[in-house]
Amino acid sequence: AQSVAQPEDQVNVAEGNPLTVKCTYSVSGNPYLFWYVQYPNRGLQFLLKYITGDNLVKGSYGFEAEFNKSQTSFHLKKPSALVSDSALYFCAVRPFTGGFKTIFGAGTRLFVKA
Amino acid sequence: DTAVSQTPKYLVTQMGNDKSIKCEQNLGHDTMYWYKQDSKKFLKIMFSYNNKELIINETVPNRFSPKSPDKAHLNLHINSLELGDSAVYFCASSQDQPHDGYTFGSGTRLTVV
């Protein structure tokens, strides 16, 4: 079965420190990978995606993500966290030949402390 | 301009009632989706339409019926509402390519009492 795992329910980090939000996936073939962010009482917003090429992709608000094919991971990173980064983060996978269906992880809540 | 708009934002209703949620996108996207987000924030695909054609129909009760009058609109009608239907329902749209991300609406919080 195809799945996306976000092993941490919550990540706590101090402002100014680097942050990592983890994501691993189990999908046949080469999928497209995405990160979305959800602020309270809002819809999800697209952050970044991996299609092909360079394993490090850059996205909105200073976020980046590293694709690792051998570990089937796509971790979200930011060199210096801001309090305003506190939100719910979703990893998502869209199989290359899976039609229109995107599979979302369960979400990781990021809490950045001032 | 709001890209994907949903109405209403909040909906409180009694068990057994029938209600509809409307969604419109002005992005020119060909594909639209309904997702349900439960109290634990887990997102589950319900339906998807591509150019008014139903392409994803997950295992949801047949009390839920999507309707797409044109490719810019995807509505969700729910009959005989139950307590377990309480959730936030998100509409989203995307282009046709699998590497295209989604644009989400701001959600409709449905509370069944």
Residues ≥6 apart with Cβ < 8 Å to A59: A35, A47, A48, A49, A65
Residue A90: which of B41, B5, B80, B58 has the closest Cα?
Answer: B41
Which pair of tokens denotes residue A96? 């290359």
pLDDT score, position B76: 97
pLDDT score, position B51: 86
Mean pLDDT of A77-85: 97
Q: Across the interface, which of B43, B98, B99 has its CB nearest the CB of A104?
A: B43
Q: Which residues of chain B are modeled with pLDDT < 70?
A: 1
Distance CA B58, CA B53 (A): 15
Helices (H) and strands (E) counted in chain B, each on its own, are 0, 11
SS (H, E, C) B1-64: CCCEEEECCEEEECCCCCEEEEEEECCCCCEEEEEEECCCCCEEEEEEEECCEEEEECCCCCCE
pLDDT score, position B35: 95
The neighbouring-strand residues paired with A113 are A14
Model confidence at A107, in pLDDT bands (50, 70, 90)?
very high
pLDDT score, position B110: 97
CA distance A45 to chain B (A): 7
B101 touches chain A (CB under 8 A): yes
* Residue B85 DSSP SS3: helix
Q: Across the interface, which of B31, B41, B90 has its CB nearest the CB of A100?
A: B31
Q: Across the interface, which of A45, A90, A94 has its CB nearest the CB of B43?
A: A90
Mean pLDDT of A73-83: 97
Q: Do A49 and B99 count as a contact with CB atoms less than 8 A apart?
A: yes
pLDDT score, position B20: 97
Residue A44: which of A110, A104, A112 has the closest Cα?
Answer: A104
Q: Is the dihedral of CA A35, A25, B32, B51 positive or negative?
A: positive
Mean pLDDT of A76-97: 93
pLDDT score, position A101: 81
| pLDDT tens digits, one per residue of B67-81 | 999 999 999 999 999
A1: pLDDT strictly greater than 80? no
